[in-house]
Chains A and B, each alone.
Chain A
Amino acid sequence: MTVHNLYIFDRNGTCLHYSEWNRKKQAGISKEEEFKLMYGMLFSIRSFVSKMSPLDMKDGFIAFQTSRYKLHYYETPTGIKLVMNTDLGVPNCRDILHQLYSTVYVEYIVKNPLCMLGETLQSELFSSRLDSFIRALPFFSVRAA
């Protein structure tokens, strides 16, 4: 079981952070295009899900899966979007993404006066804490299943 990669977007679609741990295949396009594609897809799917929902919506879009990987999505009330790709064995990640937000993003970015909102995240402390957090997850192992 493993985590492949993680994207963090802000409310305006700027990709604040991207990390990968276990990605065997690249998208074949530049990183900027990839981020735009990801953000555009999320935006569309969220609006699709809320429009087409046959019942009253609670959390909205949470995850999608293919035969090889699962994409988990979590959005905070302030519009920060966390997207994590894992392999199929991993259950619902909302709590984990929420914890990532509150213990890593809020602690090391929001509380860091030298990190400006809307800019890509430069803090090394943030990157290293994020990395340790992901590596410490129970379903993370360096080799994909």
Chain B
Amino acid sequence: PSVFIADMADEALFQFLHNEVIQYVNSAESGETENGRCVSKLENMGFRVGQGLIERFTKDTARFKDELDIMKFICKDFWTCVFKKQIDNLRTNHQGIYVLQDNKFRLLTQLSTGKQYLEHAPKYLAFTCGLVRGGLSNLGVKSIVTAEVSVMPACKFQVMIQKM
């Protein structure tokens, strides 16, 4: 029973902190381009956190065979460690573009199911985009990560691998 409570507290703690960071960055950037700058600040924060997280999560795993293997790790182990669930669907064109679909993204489930608050959704995805980009970067993969939402709480993260 006490372990269960600790789990619940962990998740709530991260969610509340994440939401406050977004409010803080949002209020610090009240200007014409506010949404864009806000999103990139959050994404950069996520990048640094992602870099650190991936070091911890992979310290005991074997080397990855290839890019696809890395993406599968992100979808399964990485997503489970951070969001307590896996990515629901991974698609790729085998030419460096991957689409990760999460049908019940943990940071959006409390916002709405459907269209309400849709215009605010990008802010809530920015940190996670950075998280993925940072994780990949420390695994030696340079990428650009974007996200889109049409019906909450489902969302898609698009990863474009940059050839170095």
Determine if B117 is an interface residue (Cβ-Cβ < 8 Å).
yes
A99-140 vs B: 1/0 string, CB under 8 Å? 000000001100111100000001111001000000000000
Determine if B89 is an interface residue (Cβ-Cβ < 8 Å).
no
A113 pairs with B23, CB closer than 8 A:
yes
Determine if B110 is an interface residue (Cβ-Cβ < 8 Å).
yes
The interface residues of chain B lying within 8 Å CB-to-CB of A114 are: 111, 117, 120
A125 pairs with B113, CB closer than 8 A:
yes
A108 pairs with B116, CB closer than 8 A:
no
User: Which of under 10, 10 to 19, 20 to 34, or 35 or more describes the interface residues of A?
Assistant: 10 to 19
In Å, the complex CA distance between A24 and B153 comes to: 37
In Å, the complex CA distance between A124 and B110 comes to: 11
Determine if B155 is an interface residue (Cβ-Cβ < 8 Å).
no
Determine if B12 is an interface residue (Cβ-Cβ < 8 Å).
yes
CB distance from B124 to the nearest CB of A (A): 8
A86-100 interface (Cβ within 8 A of B): none
Specify the main secondary structure of chain B where it touches its partner.
helix
The interface residues of chain A lying within 8 Å CB-to-CB of B23 are: 113
In Å, the complex CA distance between A108 and B113 comes to: 11
A111 pairs with B116, CB closer than 8 A:
no
Q: Which of A111, A124, A125 contacts B15 (CB under 8 A)? A: A111
A124 pairs with B22, CB closer than 8 A:
no
The interface residues of chain B lying within 8 Å CB-to-CB of A111 are: 12, 15-16, 19, 110
A108 pairs with B110, CB closer than 8 A:
yes
The interface residues of chain A lying within 8 Å CB-to-CB of B116 are: 122-125
In Å, the complex CA distance between A107 and B110 comes to: 7
B114 pairs with A124, CB closer than 8 A:
yes
B1-35 vs A: 1/0 string, CB under 8 Å? 00000000000100110011011000000000000
Determine if B112 is an interface residue (Cβ-Cβ < 8 Å).
yes
Most buried by A among B110, B111, B113, B120: B110
CB distance from B5 to the nearest CB of A (A): 13
The interface residues of chain A lying within 8 Å CB-to-CB of B124 are: 113
In Å, the complex CA distance between A123 and B111 comes to: 8
CB distance from A57 to the nearest CB of B (A): 29
CB distance from A52 to the nearest CB of B (A): 39
CB distance from B156 to the nearest CB of A (A): 20
- Give 3 nearest A-B pairs by CB, closest first: A113-B19, A111-B110, A125-B112
Q: What are 10 inter-chain pairs, A to B, with CB distance below 8 A?
A: A112-B110, A113-B19, A114-B117, A123-B116, A124-B112, A124-B113, A124-B116, A125-B110, A125-B111, A128-B113
